[in-house]
Amino acid sequence: MKRSDRLARLVRAAADNGIVVPAFNVFYMPLIKPICDALKAYDTFGMVEISRIELQKFEVPSITAAAEEYSKHADPRVTALHLDHIPVIDEDGYKVDWRPLIEEGIRAGYDSVMIDGSRLPFEENVAVTAEVVRMAHAQGVLVEAELGSVLGHESGPLPPYDELFESKAGFTDPEQAREFVQRTGVDWLSVSVGSVHGAIAGAAKDQQKVKARLDIERIRQLREATGVPLVLHGGSGISLEYVRAAIANGIAKINIATDIRQPYDRTLAEGGTIEDGQRVVFETISDIIQNRYNIVGSATRLEELITLG
């Protein structure tokens, strides 16, 4: 079985059976090791992911360098490497030369890539996403895209969260999502259903995230409309009852960034070593695997499901 076929089947099995695939963002190269170590230690299938934000605003030197470091620690049975959030227009409103970044990820051996055209008009998002699907699928690489607006990375302040949630502004429309998936052939869809990204600018990046809620009925409708595994960005800071309901209704992959970045930053700011920071990240991920998502052994379970299926 080709690696991309296996990954596609694993994530679909997760969506169909209420098992989540955690995807951990790497802001600093030393985070790769404890992420991989924790996934191996708990026989949990998850992803290591790097986005343009980590390249531009944190300490990941390049897409290729991250892939090389990942290869030193990864066990392909329990991990996959994902190129996250390559935007067409970035969080500061600037156009991005996205093609070389996607091409580098494909050349470097990433298992999947994400093109983010969510700040574009619908037709332009469709066109760009379809182009990336053609590029990536030709090389056996899966594609994630985004429809709707998951806020939080912007430099300005967010509107009050309750106001944002009640207005449903920017939430993904199920019928539009159906058309988007049909016209692009995308493998996974990142949806806006109430979560927010962690702040990455200035003092706000150290603040606790808002306690987000999720529109579970919308998730159910999106899953039914699209038929593809759904992705939740901004997975840190969501109330547990909503997280578990989301997983039960079609969210297959949840991105986690703030929950591991902030403890690492605090440890080093308090005089700890990189090794101390890595231990804290390992412990944090261990807690997420065991207590938040209850996915110890998910790697073996998912393999069994795709073998039977």
Query: What's the pLDDT score for residue 163?
Result: 57
Average pLDDT of the residues in 3-17: 94
Query: What's the pLDDT score for residue 151?
Result: 61
Query: What's the pLDDT score for residue 203?
Result: 37
HSE-up of residue 253 (Cα within 13 Å, Cβ side): 32
Query: Greater confidence, 161 or 81?
Result: 81
Mention the CATH class of domain 3-308. alpha beta
Query: What's the pLDDT score for residue 202?
Result: 40
Average pLDDT of the residues in 221-228: 98
Going by pLDDT thresholds of 50, 70 and 90, the confidence category of residue 70 is very high
Going by pLDDT thresholds of 50, 70 and 90, the confidence category of residue 201 is very low
| Cα(134)–Cα(183) distance, integer angstroms | 12
Q: Report percent pLDDT > 90 for the chain.
A: 78
- CB 86, CB 51: distance < 8 Å: yes
Query: What's the pLDDT score for residue 165?
Result: 60
- CB 34, CB 282: distance < 8 Å: yes
Q: Identify the weakest region by mean pLDDT among 54-63, 146-155, 244-253.
A: 146-155
Query: Greater confidence, 114 or 197?
Result: 114
- Per the prediction, the chain carries an average pLDDT of 90
Q: Which residues of 21-39 are buried (b: 16+ CB within 10 A; e: fewer)?
A: bbbbbbbbbbbbbbbbbbb
Q: Identify the weakest region by mean pLDDT among 125-139, 158-172, 204-218.
A: 158-172
HSE-up of residue 264 (Cα within 13 Å, Cβ side): 24
Q: What residues are annotated to the active site?
A: 84
Query: What's the pLDDT score for residue 200?
Result: 36
Average pLDDT of the residues in 146-173: 66
Query: What's the pLDDT score for residue 282?
Result: 99
CA 231-237-239 angle, to 5 degrees, is: 85
Going by pLDDT thresholds of 50, 70 and 90, the confidence category of residue 213 is confident
Going by pLDDT thresholds of 50, 70 and 90, the confidence category of residue 199 is very low
Query: What's the pLDDT score for residue 227?
Result: 98
